[in-house]
Amino acid sequence: MNTTAQSNDLKTWQCIVCGFIYDEEQGLPDEGIAAGTRWADIPADWACPDCGVAKADFDMVEITV
Amino acid sequence: MKPLLILGTGLAGYTLAREFRKLDQTRPLVLVTADDGSAYAKPNLSNALANARSAEALVQSDAAGMATQLQARVLTRCRVITINTEARQVHVVPMDNRQTDVARATHPSIEIIDYAQLVLALGAEPLRLPIAGNAADRILSVNDLDDYRRFREALAAYASPARVAILGGGLIGCEFANDLAIAGHAVQVIDIAPQALGRLLPSDLPGAVRGPAQALQQALQQTGVQWHLSRSLKTIQHSATASTLELQLDNGDCLEADLVLSAVGLAPRTALAASAGLQIGRGIVTNHCLQTSARHVYALGDCAEVNGMLLPYVMPIMHGARALAATLASYQDTNDSVQARSVHYPPMPVSVKTPALPITVCSPAMGSAGAWAAASTANADTNAIEAHFLSPEGKQLGFALTGTACSRRSALVRALVRPLGDALSS
């Protein structure tokens, strides 16, 4: 069987206001965001846990490790 | 239609403007700032070196860009010298030089702006300790982007490693110490308290080998930071050859430095509000709707004392801006009234962004009865400290977390017991 490699390029994002890091691979299980949740799939009303800036209002900066 | 007028274009002023425009795209919006109106995030000042960012790289948008984005008029390098809350009018003058004290009323280029509503988002002034010596004017503050630009220019004049002395081992002092250490500079921190983060963290932690403050001190020491705790700076002089700064502490210890940064605390900017007759406490006094003692005048951010509290952090600004924008957008010209929306603050832990040992702390309300104790969780990672502040009845009123224990933050926020009768709790 041909096993196509899943695109596992889970990304890391950083809040441009306070530097909080969201790692797609880790998610934020304590806040109800499952490991592996892509940035795009996080609810629009989510806010940065460290500084409260709304998701809609900032650009997470993609960090390539 | 008279404008919404916002004084200040820091995080508070610009965030409020953005939130207001989400709700109201028609009312004219005017912002006045003493600086150049660059939009930036203050938390980024204390990690710029680690992120290899210049001061200019921290600018998200210039004033012209913000004016377009917000459909607003942004007056830069201008100061408001008078607020007439009865006439709802301010007098604005341009500044030649940020340090210049502007003569009132006789200045040739006063602009008069009439407002429907006014928001004071003036921020806070860095406290300056009285230090003797012929080099006292070399002590730099870092409370805004203009300050930070000057600091980076000064730093660039020295080949690495520069020797930097930091006055103040609080949140800002520790973050800058870590950032400078990461960049390879030789840092010494001087604080009158016997520990780092003296206003946020407990002095000791029963049940633990060391408390969170001691853990941070040691983690920073491992990056090369030297501590002078329970000490104060008495004099600062140019050396005989003028190539270095000579610092003398209260116990006689002498240090040399190339640069000195002061981060010893903030004083809300209340002078303008006071001269306008507004009620002033430690900050510009507001109620739970951010209303000052004058109708149609509000305050937000580091200058505001909301329901008796000074909270010079980002999260209170975000919650405040959303509530205040709703209040301001509800304004009816026809009956000159608003439906004031109350701010609700959830628990807002403070994050100390020191990569050597990150800390998350949620302090108990002032005057709370109780004591700090280490959580009984056994953790092999000695940098992962979990501390609880418990009332005499065993209710959790606060917590402090270090290192990997910071992941316990959400669970501990849920376990917090809020004080009754707190109008702002949610």
Interchain contact A20–B (C-beta under 8 A):
yes
Interchain contact A46–B (C-beta under 8 A):
no
Give the range among A31-40, A56-65, B267-276, B416-425 with minimum mean pLDDT. Answer: B416-425
Rg (chain B; Cα; Å): 23
> What is the C-alpha to C-alpha distance for residues B197 and B210, in angstroms, rounded to an integer?
15
Inter-chain residue contact B314 with A20, CB threshold 8 Å: no
Interchain contact B44–A (C-beta under 8 A):
yes
B142, B172 Cβ separation under 8 angstroms: yes
Residues of A with Cβ-Cβ distance to B318 under 8 angstroms: 47, 51-54
B32, B6 Cβ separation under 8 angstroms: yes
B186, B224 Cβ separation under 8 angstroms: yes
Exposure of A55 in the CB half-sphere (CA atoms within 13 A): 11
> Is the CA virtual torsion A58, A59, A62, A63 positive or negative?
negative
**The pLDDT value given to residue A64:** 63
Which residue of chain A is at minimal alpha-carbon distance from B18? A57
**The pLDDT value given to residue A7:** 54
> What is the C-alpha to C-alpha distance for residues B218 and B337, in angstroms, rounded to an integer?
55
- B202 burial level (CB within 10 Å; 0-12, 13-18, 19+): buried
In a mutational test of the A interface, the residue from B314, B353, B386 whose CB has the highest number of chain A CBs within 10 Å is B314
Task: Tell me which residue of B210, B208, B205 sits closest to B372, measured CA to CA.
Answer: B205
- Of chain A, the percentage scoring pLDDT greater than 70 comes to 80
Which residues, 6 or more positions from B222, have their beta carbon under 8 angstroms from its beta carbon?
Answer: B356
**The pLDDT value given to residue A19:** 87
**The pLDDT value given to residue B131:** 96
Angle, CA of B163, B164 and B167, to the nearest 5°: 150
Q: Considering the entire predicted model, what is its pTM?
A: 0.93
- pLDDT score of A6 more than 70: no
User: For strand B186-191 and strand B226-229, is the pairing parallel, antiparallel, or unpaired?
Assistant: parallel
> Which of B18, B41, B409 faces A17 most closely, judged by CB atoms?
B41
B353, B175 Cβ separation under 8 angstroms: yes
**The pLDDT value given to residue B38:** 98
Task: Tell me which residue of A28, A20, A11 sits closest to A52, measured CA to CA.
Answer: A20
> What is the C-alpha to C-alpha distance for residues B410 and A24, in angstroms, rounded to an integer?
18
- State the complex-level ipTM: 0.84
> Which of B60, B315, B411 faces A51 most closely, judged by CB atoms?
B315
Interchain contact B47–A (C-beta under 8 A):
yes
Residues of A with Cβ-Cβ distance to B44 under 8 angstroms: 16-17, 19
pLDDT in tens, chain B (426 residues): 999 999 999 999 999 999 999 999 999 999 999 999 999 999 999 999 999 999 999 999 999 999 999 999 999 999 999 999 999 999 999 987 444 454 444 556 789 999 999 999 999 999 999 999 999 999 999 999 999 999 999 999 997 799 999 999 999 999 999 999 999 999 999 999 999 999 899 988 988 889 999 999 999 999 999 999 999 999 999 999 878 999 999 999 999 999 999 999 999 999 999 999 999 999 999 999 999 999 999 999 999 999 999 999 999 999 999 999 999 999 999 999 999 999 999 999 999 999 999 999 999 988 899 999 998 766 778 899 999 999 999 999 999 999 999 999 999 999 997 765 455 665
Backbone dihedral region for residue B367 (phi beyond 0: left; psi -120 to 50: alpha; all else: beta): left
Residues of B with Cβ-Cβ distance to A18 under 8 angstroms: 41, 43, 314, 351, 353
* CA A18 distance to own-chain centroid: 15
B179, B43 Cβ separation under 8 angstroms: no
Interchain contact B426–A (C-beta under 8 A):
no
